[in-house]
Amino acid sequence: MTVETDADAGAASGGESAARRMDLLRFATAGSVDDGKSTLIGRLLYDTKSLFTDQLAAVEAVSAARGDEYTNLALLTDGLRAEREQGITIDVAYRYFATPRRKFIIADTPGHIQYTRNMVTGASTADLALILVDARKGLVEQSRRHAFLCSLLRVPHLVLCVNKMDLVDFSQDVFERIADEFTAFAAKLDVPDLTVVPVSALRGDNIVSRSPNMPWYEGPALLHHLERVHIASDRNLVDVRFPVQYVIRPQSTTVTDYRGYAGQVASGVLKAGDEVMVLPSGFTSRIASVETADGPVAEAFPPMSVTVRLTDEIDISRGDMICRPNNAPAVAQDIEAMVCWMDETRPLQVGGKYAIKHTTRSARAIVRGLHYRLDINSLHRDDSAGELRLNEIGRVRLRTTVPLLADEYRRNRTTGGFVIIDETTNRTVGAGMIVEAG
Amino acid sequence: MTAPAYQVSHLDALEAESIFVMREVVAEMERPVLLFSGGKDSIVMLRLAQKAFAPANVPFPVMHVDTGHNFPEVLEYRDQRVAELGLHLVVASVPDALARGLVRESPDGMRNRIQTPVLLAAVEQHRFDALFGGARRDEEKARAKERVFSFRDEFGQWDPKNQRPELWALYNGRHHPGESIRVFPLSNWTELDVWHYIARERIPLPSIYYAHEREVIERDGMLYAVNEFVRPRAGEELVKERVRYRTVGDASCTAAVRSDADTVEKVIEEVAATRITERGATRGDDRVSEAAMEDRKREGYF
């Protein structure tokens, strides 16, 4: 027996209409246990009722058994055996919470081990990055590294949480000194939006509501900022980029002569009647319809997954890109990119050959040159470097076997990013951000 | 360009991401299969598969790893769904594997662990290289660190310390013959998201997800239905309770929760208010140790 859901469920349920209004914000957190990052995340989860009693009880039991003086909320995310045994965080953990306004996905990146690889991974999809510093220590090398990586990955919004304000007597001077120093550093980077919040994660000051302990602070509480930070205009709605993912051609007697190009809109707005160009062929056509399984849609924009049908029968396959005749990405085999190396076994070397995946397109590439390796602490460029090792970042020139349909990463995070894959081990060994394609 | 018209809800964003993931798999992998248990997550996944390839049919078979400990309502649902959608169903049967001597019954009678070799044998037999699973990262802490595309070696093993970095929406499904990828399109969904989606899409579910009267016994603080697999032990009292299932797994280790939620809206209210995770409330198999799920996953579990 099956139960049909009530036909009016959607309209009738207050929960559903609330769910309809919620949007999605992905954020990455950076910092170490010492900065109180786990406490902060635990606080956000707890105060939004996203932490469950059985999870908390399990963490309390393990903390007590290990003789921790306080409930170690890091254990919430450190679920792997090796992490528990060694007391370290190995990998990015994903956490979820929601308020009536927004659903949040946290990519919680560990502060110490493999921090670059993990931070780059977490930041790649983030709308916002949250960096923690301990108010007693102020900015440390790691805070600058985190800020740099966020700017490299073009995370649109940055929040610096100056934590443990209770341990500096909620001092406005301490806060402003740190905020000024960080703001000055961020000005040297490409940080479009920066907010600094004084908090005490342990005591809950300025997390969910404004703290009476810091009347001098006039900004929003952290959660209030996370709920309201304006992310809609971070999306690129100007440059039409539709990487063709899959061609839908039903082998069916009821649906005949159907040919649709399935994909997720990377940027821009697509609608029926628009003149489009298909790369790399350069053929032009018009959009006949933009469809989903629920029927045609008036417009498609990021991050919608849709099927585009054209008025002309032209040869299009996976890896091709639908764009506009007067606004197209580069069709290029020579790629200049910032590359972050992620493999511990073998370094990136000039002359090395790799597989790369860029949008829905795969290619092989040879490393033609390494211009410099970047010291991410000093931002110094070492142009004598001959290779990139694990967690190192450098500017690289690649030549690909087939043209990539590419934009600068700073203009388009989807059509500007690629991963490098070792062809023998099949491991993902690097992440690339296109600086120039030509 | 900040008109609200260009915003999507979180459910639409999750749906779009899941559809993208499913299309990537079909475009890049040779022989995908969708693991279908008749549980709500696999049911939602199947709906997403329908949407991803419409108006074409779902371009891969579904596989049920059948422990032999089934809720009859769920088996009925499975067969009805498969018939409706014209799907090809592969059944990897634990009872058959027991009869063939591939696996042996574990002393506690639970079949959770012995379904892994049965799953892996079916993967090998059918040469599946991509397996869609309905696991979500919010379910369990070992799962919180798993990739959307999760690589498995030729023994079906997961190595949590050696996972491929996953950046942007660039999924690496490359593998050598005999290796495979587990794909989790619902990675970023929560239990509540799944229920909101079931309501929005009006997806029918097996009846045991909604409140009903059932004869149960209380064991280790959980309510188990009495059936041919679960018998009252000495001192356990048979009581009639109004219950529903939050998860659907092996009938010998999946417990019910007391509930009056007999409609999808009431379930949403209940889930939104609950303070216990769904696996914590209903799964005897996760209570074995702190790392029970990780250990099973390492061996090739879902």
For B112-141, write each residue's pLDDT tens digit. 788 899 999 999 999 999 999 999 998 877
Chain A interface disruption, residue of B7, B75, B145, most A CBs within 10 A: B145
pLDDT at A322: 98
User: What pLDDT score does A239 carry?
Assistant: 97
A280: cis peptide before it, omega within 30°? yes
- The fold of the B10-194+291-299 domain, in CATH, is Rossmann fold (3.40.50)
Nearest to B165 among A3, A93, A117 (CB): A117
Chain A residues in contact with B46 by the CB 8 A cut-off are none
Q: Tell me the average pLDDT across A150-175.
A: 96
Contact between chains at B192 and A54 (C-beta distance less than 8 A): no
Q: Is B83 on the interface with A (CB under 8 A)?
A: no
**What's the mean pLDDT in A432-438?**
94
Instruction: Please check whether residue B90 touches A, CB under 8 A.
Output: no
Question: Would an 8 Å CB–CB cutoff place B160 in contact with chain A?
Answer: yes
Residue A62 has what pLDDT?
A: 75
DSSP state of A417: E
Q: Give the torsion through C-alpha atoms of A8, A10, A13, A15, to 10 deg.
A: 170
Question: With bands split at pLDDT 50, 70 and 90, how would you rate the model's confidence at A13?
Answer: very low
Give the pLDDT confidence score for residue A5 in this predicted structure. 41
pLDDT in the model for residue A57: 80
What is the average pLDDT score of chain B?
90
pLDDT tens-place string over residues B205-236: 999 999 999 999 998 888 998 887 888 888 88
Half-sphere exposure of A268 (CA within 13 A, CB side): 20
CB-based contact B200 A250, cutoff 8 Å: no
Q: How confident is the model at residue A55 (pLDDT cuts 50, 70, 90)?
A: confident
CB–CB contact A90 B145 (8 Å): yes
Q: What percent of chain A has pLDDT over 70?
A: 89
Which residues, 6+ apart, have CB-to-CB distance to A134 below 8 Å? Answer: A34, A35, A36, A163, A164
Q: In whole angstroms, what is the distance from residue A120 CA to residue A133 CA?
A: 19
The three-class DSSP label of residue B248 is coil
Q: Which two tokens stand for residue A334?
A: 């020579």
Q: Please answer yes or no on whether B168 and A125 come within 8 Å at the CB atom.
A: yes
* Average pLDDT value for residue range A31-50: 81
CA distance A238 to chain B (A): 9
Question: Given pLDDT bands bounded at 50, 70 and 90, which one contains residue A6?
Answer: very low
d(CA A383, CA A376): 14
Cis peptide before B55 (omega within 30 of 0): yes
Per-residue pLDDT of B163-194, as tens digits, reads 899 999 999 999 999 999 999 999 999 999 99
∠ Cα B238 B244 B245 (to 5°)? 105
Read off the DSSP letter of residue A36: T
Comparing CB atoms, the residue among B174, B187, B198 nearest residue A426 is: B174
> Crossing angle of helices A172-188/A141-152, nearest 10°?
40
* Cα Rg, chain B, nearest whole Å: 19
**Among candidate residues A67, A41, A69, the one with its CA nearest the CA of residue A55:** A41
Higher pLDDT, A375 or A162: A162
B192: contact with A, CB 8 A cutoff: yes
β-pair type (A295-296, A193-198): unpaired
Q: A319: which DSSP letter?
A: T
Task: Give me the torsion for CA of A259, A265, A269, A271, rounded to 10°.
Answer: 10
Q: What is the pLDDT of residue A79?
A: 64
- Mean of pLDDT values over A341-355: 96
Work out the number of other CB atoms within 10 angstroms of the CB of residue A402: 14
Residue A102 backbone dihedrals phi, psi, to 5 degrees: -145, 150
Residue whose pair of structure tokens reads 């409140």 in the numeric block = B211
Flag if A15 and B265 touch (Cβ within 8 Å): yes
Biggest alpha carbon–alpha carbon distance for chain A: 75
**B294 → closest Cβ in A9, A19, A79:** A79
Mean pLDDT throughout B237-256? 89
Q: Does B188 touch chain A (CB under 8 A)?
A: yes
Give pLDDT, residue A10. 34
> Which tens digit of pLDDT belongs to each residue from B85-102?
999 999 999 999 999 998
B287 touches chain A (CB under 8 A): no
pLDDT in tens, B265-291: 999 999 888 878 777 777 766 655 656
pLDDT tens digits, residue range B156-170?
Answer: 899 888 889 999 999
Residue A336 pLDDT > 50, yes or no? yes
CA–CA min distance A47, chain B (Å): 12
Residue type, A226: L
pLDDT-based confidence at residue A19 (cuts at 50, 70, 90): low
Mean pLDDT of A282-309: 97
- Of residues B261 and A10, the one with the higher pLDDT is B261
Whether the upstream peptide bond of residue B107 has omega within 30° of 0, thus cis, is no
Task: Enter the pTM of the model.
Answer: 0.93
Q: Do A24 and B27 touch (CB under 8 A)?
A: no
Q: Which tokens is B123 given?
A: 């993967």
- Whether residue B56 is predicted with pLDDT greater than 80 in this model: the reply is yes
**Segment A224-266, tens digit of pLDDT:** 999 999 998 889 999 999 999 999 999 877 877 899 999 999 9
User: In terms of Cα–Cα distance, which of A152, A146, A83 is closest to A116?
Assistant: A146
Rounded to 5°, the CA angle A142-A145-A149 comes to 140
A199 to chain B, closest Cα gap in Å: 27
Question: CA B33 → CA A393, B57, B91, B97, distances in Å?
Answer: 38, 14, 12, 20
* Residue B219, both tokens: 């064991």
For chain A, the first-to-last Cα distance in angstroms comes to: 61
3-class DSSP assignment, residue B150: strand
Confidence bin at A7 (pLDDT 50/70/90): very low
pLDDT band (50, 70, 90) for residue A30: confident
* Region B31-50 average pLDDT: 97
pLDDT above 90: residue A372: yes
Task: Give the tens place of pLDDT for each residue, B22-33.
Answer: 999 999 999 999
Over residues A72-101, mean pLDDT:
75
Residue indicated by tokens 């498995």: B152
Q: Say what the pLDDT of residue A64 is.
A: 79
* Cα separations in angstroms, B197 against A5, A429, B15: 12, 36, 9
| Confidence band, pLDDT 50/70/90 cuts, at residue B64 | very high
CA-based torsion, A385, A390, A394, A400: positive or negative? positive
Choose among A262, A304, A419: nearest Cβ to B8: A304
Rounded to a whole number, what is the distance in Å from the CA of A137 to chain B's nearest CA? 30
Any A CB within 8 A of B206 CB:
yes
Å from A129 to nearest chain B CA? 15
Q: What pLDDT was estimated at residue A1?
A: 44
Is the bond leading into A303 cis (omega within 30 degrees of zero)?
A: yes
Contact B10 A19 (CB under 8 A): yes
Beta-carbon separation of B24 and A245 below 8 A:
yes
Band the pLDDT of A118: cuts 50, 70, 90.
Answer: confident
Question: For residue A50, what pLDDT is reported?
Answer: 80
> Which of B23, B188, B200 is closest, CB to CB, to A245?
B23
Chain A residue closest in CA terms to B264: A5
Domain boundaries along the sequence of chain B: 10-194+291-299, 206-287
Q: What is the mean pLDDT of residues A43-48?
A: 86
Q: Which amino acid is at B140?
A: E
Task: Note the pLDDT of residue B120.
Answer: 94
Q: Dump pLDDT digits (tens) for A387-401.
A: 999 999 999 999 999
Find out whether A121 and A28 touch, Cβ atoms under 8 Å.
Answer: no
Buried b (16+ CB within 10 A) or exposed e, A261-298: bbbbbbbbbbebebebbbbeeeeebebebbbbbeeebe
ipTM: 0.92
Tell me the mean pLDDT in the region A69-73: 68
Residue A419, min C-alpha distance to chain B (Å): 7
Interface residue B202 vs chain A (CB under 8 A): yes
